[in-house]
Amino acid sequence: MSFDYMGIKRIKNAMELSLTPECATFDPSVLVWWLDATQEMYRRGNTRAVFDGPTQAFLDKNRKAAEDSFAALCTPGSLLLKATITAYETHLSRDIDKNLLLIAAATEHAKAIATLPVAEKTIRYTIKKHRDSNAQRVLTVRSDVLNDFGFEGGCLALHALTKAVGRDLDKKVSVWNIHDLFAGRSGTRVAPEYEDQVFFLHTYLVEYLGNNLPLAEVKENLGVIKTLHDYFETLEIPG
């Protein structure tokens, strides 16, 4: 773990965090998101973290602009940025410096995604009890997912949907007609390669879509999920 961008020292019963001069090249909004996420990361690790005087003054000065910047992002971009920040807060990645760079990268990608269209997408489905287990539910998809989302995009959309349905019902959910939906597609291709930062951004996005979005939000953003998938396809390194 590196600390080029943040000064850290122990004071009484807390960690004191401060910006270093190397942070001057970053957008202030990125720094605000990163500082808040760092404090939350420490809190979730049962460690109290506070900011020194100059850093707290920086936060107070730039917080409103950071809120406005986040609000101005397109929905796919805000989901990508939120996924990256959440991964840091929940200890999926603990490297403080690397997470500043990732949040900055997510912000740039969020702006690039804003140029892409977002089509309205839906997935019609029914749910039944599993005949052998009350702890499980069977979801039957009534939509042409392959045509609407593509193979991998459809897999991502169904992943987010079934996980959200499962959380909503507090049951384990499986797709009954998964083989019919993807007839003729017997397996996935070799996992795509990305530049390192893009790899982590994609990983955190898939994690966030599967484990954080409420069911209503998944349904509302199925077109957004397809747009995000299509965008990351453009970032793949050719095999």
Task: Report the half-sphere exposure of 54 (CA within 13 A, side-chain side).
Answer: 6
For 144-167, the pLDDT digits (tens) are 999 999 999 999 999 999 999 999
Which helix (H) or strand (E) element contains residue 112? helix 96-113
Q: DSSP code of 24?
A: G
| Residue 181 located in a structural domain | yes
Give the dihedral of Cα atoms 28, 34, 35, 36; nearest 10 deg. Answer: 110
Residues 74-84, mean pLDDT to the nearest whole number = 98
- The number of distinct structural domains making up the chain is 2
> Does one domain contain both 143 and 44?
no
| Residue 120 located in a structural domain | no
pLDDT at position 187 is 58
> Does one domain contain both 146 and 222?
yes
Tokens of 205: 């996005």
Q: Which of 2-11, 87-96, 229-238 has the highest mean pLDDT?
A: 229-238
| Residue 119 located in a structural domain | no
> Does one domain contain both 23 and 45?
yes
Q: Is the pLDDT of residue 235 over 60?
A: yes
Structural domain span for residue 67? 6-113
pLDDT at position 186 is 56
| Residue 150 located in a structural domain | yes
What does pLDDT average to over the chain? 94
| Residue 47 located in a structural domain | yes
Residue whose pair of structure tokens reads 């690790």 in the numeric block: 45
Q: Give residues with Cβ within 8 angstroms of 28, minimum separation 6.
A: 58, 62, 65, 66
Q: What amino acid occupies position 60?
A: D
* Residue 123: C-alpha distances to residues 33, 181, 220, 226 (Å): 34, 12, 10, 12
Residue whose pair of structure tokens reads 């453009």 in the numeric block: 234
> Does one domain contain both 141 and 86?
no
